[in-house]
Chains A and B, each alone.
Chain A
C-alpha cells in the first residue's frame, strides 16, 4: 500500500509535519524508534521566548499544534522583555513535559495518522525520486512523498567527560544506518554538538531559600483560538552559582567534550554550555541559573543555564555548590550529543532536498536547535510533502521581511551555519514589524495558500482585518490636541489604554487589535526603512555575473572562491553567495570588482 506522506521521526518537527499533511487530506504514516517517547521535550521544559515565542504564534496561525498544546499544559506564563518595547516581547510558558507529549500523541491518533515503531535505515529506490523508507523490521514503507525529521539521531554520539556511547538522545538509539545511507547517496553532512543540563530530584533540594520567579500578572495565551488553558501552576526558582561552581568547572575543563572554544559568531553572551560561560566571563562567578520543574508536581527539576558535558564528578561538585543544593541528588547527568546534520546546500527554500523531487527535511537535521524552530520547519515540510504527493508544486517559505519562519528558512538555505541555528530577534531586520502581537496579519495569507489554515481561523482573521481597517480609519479622522490621533500613536508614551481612554469610541473593538494598529504606526518609519534595505539587498542578489569572463584573476576574492565560481559559473550574485567556498567577504570583493569596471557599474546602478 502506498501512502501519501511518510515521516521519519516523531519529535516536534515530525509531529507538526504529520498533522499538517493530515490536515491537507493526506494518508500519513509516522515512523519512530520509540512510540512512548513521541513529543518528548529533550531539554528545556518550556516553550517560547524572545523570537521563539513569536514563531510559536506563527505556527498557530499556520494551523499547527504547538501553541494550543503549550496552553493546555502550561505551568507558568511569562512575557519576556515586558518592560522593554513591544517589538521584543517574547511569550513563554513553562510546560509539563509528560502532559505535553501525551497531548501531542493524542492529536496524532485522533488525526488518523498511522504510527509505526521501527527504525528507518535507508531511503528506498533512486535518490532523485525515492519510493519510500526502508525500515529495519518491516522493510519498505512506500509513500509518494517523504519528510526526514530525525533530530539529533543521525549517527548520534553521546559524551560526558570521558564517557562515550552511541545514541540520538539518552536512552535512544543512534540512526547510524540512515546516516550512512545518506552519505552513500552523496548528501553532504556536517557534525554539530549540543548539550543538556542535569536533572535533579526535587525533594532533595531546599527550595524554601531560593528566589521565586513569579508568573506575569499579564495574562496571555499562545493560541488565539478559544482552546483549553491549563489551570495547573508551578513555581520556578532562580539561584546563582558561586566560585566553587566555577572552580569545579575549571578543574575538569580539559575533560569537556562540549566546549570547543570556537563558538563566537553570535557574540559573547550566547553561551550554549556552562563551560562557555566560565571561559567567556572568567571573572564572574555568579551566573544565574533558572530552576524549573519538569512538570506539575514533578519529581525532577531542570537546571536551565547549567548545560554541560563535564564528567559526573564535576557535575556533582557544581550542583552541590549551589545554595540549597548541598544534599541534591542528580537523577540524570548532563551530557552532550554530537550528530550529523545536512549542509545548507542540500535544501531549497521549500525545504525540499534539492537532489530529490519528493523528499523534504525539517528540524535539527537541518542544523536548527529548539522545539519551536523544529515545529515550524516541520509544518512547512509536511505541508509541502502533501502538496508534492498531490502532484502540486511545493510552496516557497514566506519572505524574511514578514515572519520569523521566513528569516529562519532564508538563513538556513542561504547561509552556511557554523553552529546549531537558534532564532534570535536580531536575525530579523524587520523585527519591529515581525511581532508576537500580529502573527495572524502577517501569515494568514500564506497559511491559506499552504492549505493548512483552519476554517475558523480564516473567519477570525477576516474579522480582525476588518476591525483593523476600521480602527485605522477612526484614528485617522479623530483629532486629539490639535493633531490626528494616528500621529499621536507615534509618540513613545502612547499605549493602548491611554488611547482608548482618549478615544472612547474605540472601546467596541478588540483591545489586542487596537494595540497592534498603534504599534504598527509607532514603528512605521523604522519598518519602512528596514523593508527598503531588504529590497535593496534583494536587488543586489539579482546582479548578473554574465559580464565576468574569468574569476581566476580577480584579486579581491580568495583562491577557493575563484575556483568555486569558475567551476559553477553562477548567474547572479545571489547564486554565487550560496556556493560552498564563497564567503561573504568574497561577495563583497566581487561587488568591489564589479563596481570598478565601467560597464558593470552601470549594471549595479540600474538595480
Chain B
C-alpha cells in the first residue's frame, strides 16, 4: 500500500493561486477531516469550497477537488487543493499535511504512480517528460503509429522469406525475391523518420569530453561537432572555458561540452573547478586518457552514470582498449554509435538504430542468397520494435524520463 504523498504542483513564488497535489488511499478522508466536512462529502469527483483548519485555526480558504480511485491521474485517490498563491501559505498547508502523516512527494512520483497503475504507458511518460524539456506534444502517438506500420511490413517480409525457404521448391506461390527486397527497402524512409522521432522522445543527452591536458579533447570535440567550435592548438592548456554546442548525431540530440584539462597549471585549475561544478548536469562522459593511461578518479566514475574511457591519438601511441584517432578516424564511428545508443540500448534512439541496422544487414544477406540469416535479422528487428511498444522493456527509458521530472509532477 502506498503512502499518501503531497507536493506543491505550481512554481514557488507569488501568484494568484497555487495547487497542492495529494495522492494515495486515505487522502480524501484526510482532507474531509481537515476541512471539517461531513464524511463522504468528497466522495466521487467533487469540489468543495471551504477552509483548511489546524485545530480551530483557519489556515487558508481553499477549493478542494477530489478524484476517487481509478479515476485520477495516478490511479489512486487524489485531492488537489487550490489555495492562495503565497509561498508561506503553501508551506503552511504542506506542514499541516505532514503533521497528519503525509509524506512529501519525490520528484516525478505522481507520474511514476500514474505509470505503475497503467493510466499512462511508457511512451506517454517519456513524451510527458519531454514536454517539460520543450519538446512537442503528440509525439508519442505518432511514434507508436510509425513503429506499428514498420512492424507490419517487417512481419510480411519475414513471412514471405520463410515461405520461400520452406516451400520455395514445391509451391511456387507468393512473392519473388525482387519483390521481397523491394518490400524491405520500402521501409527505409520510414525508419529514418522513426529514428528522428525516437530522438525527440529521448530528449537531449548531455555529454562531457574530459581528461588530462592535451589529450586531444578539443580535436575530438571538433570532429564530433563537425565544426571548428573549440580552439585547438599544440600548446598545452589552450581551451580556457568549457565550450558547448548542440549537435545531432543520427537523429539524437547531444549537448557536447568541451572541458578544460583536469590538473595542470593555475589557469587550468580555475577553469577545472568551473567544470566540476557543472558536472552534476552530465549524463555521460567520454574520458580521454593520457599516455600513462591515467583514468578518471573513482569519485567521478561513481557519480556519473555513464562513462566511457577512451585511448585517444592511437595514430601516435600504441594503445590497447578502446582506441580512437581523430586523425585516422579509427574508432570514431564506434564512438558515435555509443553516443546515440546507451548501455543495453536503453534509449529509444538506440533501439530504433538497432532496428535500422538489422534491416540493412538483412538486405545485404538477401543479396548473398543467405535467406535464413536475412529472416533471422528481420525476426530480431521485429522483436525490438515490439519491445519498444511493450511496457516492461520500455521501463528503463521510463525511469530516465521520470528522473528528469521535478517535485510535483
Contact = CB atoms under 8 A, between A and B. Distances in A.
Interface of A: 50-51, 78, 80-81, 83-85, 87-88, 267-271, 277, 281, 284, 287-288, 290, 304-305, 424-426, 431-432, 492-493, 523, 526, 529-530, 588, 591-592, 595-596
Closest 6 A-B residue pairs measured CB to CB? A269-B163, A85-B370, A492-B368, A595-B392, A87-B372, A288-B172
A109 to B, nearest CB: 35
A288 B173 CA distance: 8
A526 B370 CA distance: 12
Contacts of A51: 166
A78 B372 CA distance: 19
A69 B159 CA distance: 35
Interface string B137-163: 000000000000000000000010011
Contacts of B165: 50, 81, 84, 88, 425-426
A64 B219 CA distance: 67
Given A87-B370, A304-B170, A424 B376 contact: no
B112 to A, nearest CB: 11
B174 A426 contact: no
B204 to A, nearest CB: 28
Contacts of A526: 373, 376
Contacts of A530: 376
A595 B115 CA distance: 12
A545 to B, nearest CB: 16
B235 interface: no
A237 to B, nearest CB: 13
A271 B171 contact: yes
B69 interface: no
Interface in B269-286: none
Nearest to A267: B159
Contacts of B380: 529
Interface string B3-19: 00000000000000000
Nearest to B393: A595
B369 A425 contact: no
A355 B12 CA distance: 70
A268 B159 contact: yes
A290 B159 contact: no
A167 to B, nearest CB: 28
A463 B70 CA distance: 69
A432 B167 CA distance: 18
A595 B173 CA distance: 43
A270 B162 CA distance: 10
A591 B116 CA distance: 14
Interface of B: 116, 159, 162-163, 165-174, 365, 368-373, 375-376, 380, 390-392, 395
Contacts of B174: 268-269
Nearest to B158: A426
A596 B174 CA distance: 43
A564 to B, nearest CB: 22
Contact of A269 (B171, B371, B372): B171
B329 to A, nearest CB: 20
B159 A591 contact: no
27 contacts: A78-B169, A81-B165, A81-B168, A81-B169, A84-B165, A84-B372, A85-B368, A85-B369, A85-B370, A85-B371, A87-B370, A88-B165, A88-B372, A267-B162, A267-B163, A268-B163, A269-B163, A269-B166, A270-B167, A281-B173, A287-B172, A305-B171, A425-B372, A432-B373, A432-B376, A523-B373, A592-B391
A85 B163 CA distance: 15
A332 to B, nearest CB: 21
Contacts of B173: 269, 277, 281, 284, 287-288
A20 B270 CA distance: 82
Contact of B166 (A281, A287, A304, A425): A425
A587 to B, nearest CB: 12
A85 B376 CA distance: 13
B369 A84 contact: yes
Nearest to B115: A596
A305 B159 contact: no
Contacts of B159: 267-269
Nearest to B162: A426
A87 B372 CA distance: 7
B180 to A, nearest CB: 13
Contact of A84 (B116, B162, B171, B370): B370
A471 B395 CA distance: 47
Nearest to B165: A88
Nearest to A422: B166
A267 B392 CA distance: 28
Contacts of A304: 170
B169 A80 contact: yes
B167 A85 contact: no
A422 B173 CA distance: 19
Given A51-B166, A87-B372, 12 more contacts: A50-B165, A269-B166, A269-B174, A287-B172, A288-B172, A290-B170, A304-B170, A305-B171, A432-B372, A432-B376, A526-B376, A588-B390
B395 A595 contact: yes
A270 B116 CA distance: 42
Contacts of B166: 50-51, 269-270, 424-426
A426 B172 contact: no
B373 A87 contact: yes
Contacts of A424: 162, 166
A591 B369 CA distance: 38
B382 to A, nearest CB: 13
A84 B371 contact: yes
A308 to B, nearest CB: 15
Contacts of A529: 380
A590 to B, nearest CB: 11
B357 to A, nearest CB: 13
Q: Which of B163, B167, B169, B371 counts the most chain A CB atoms within 10 A?
A: B169
Nearest to A290: B170
A287 B167 CA distance: 12
Contacts of B390: 588, 592
B75 to A, nearest CB: 12
Given A85-B371, A425-B165, A425-B372, A592 B170 contact: no
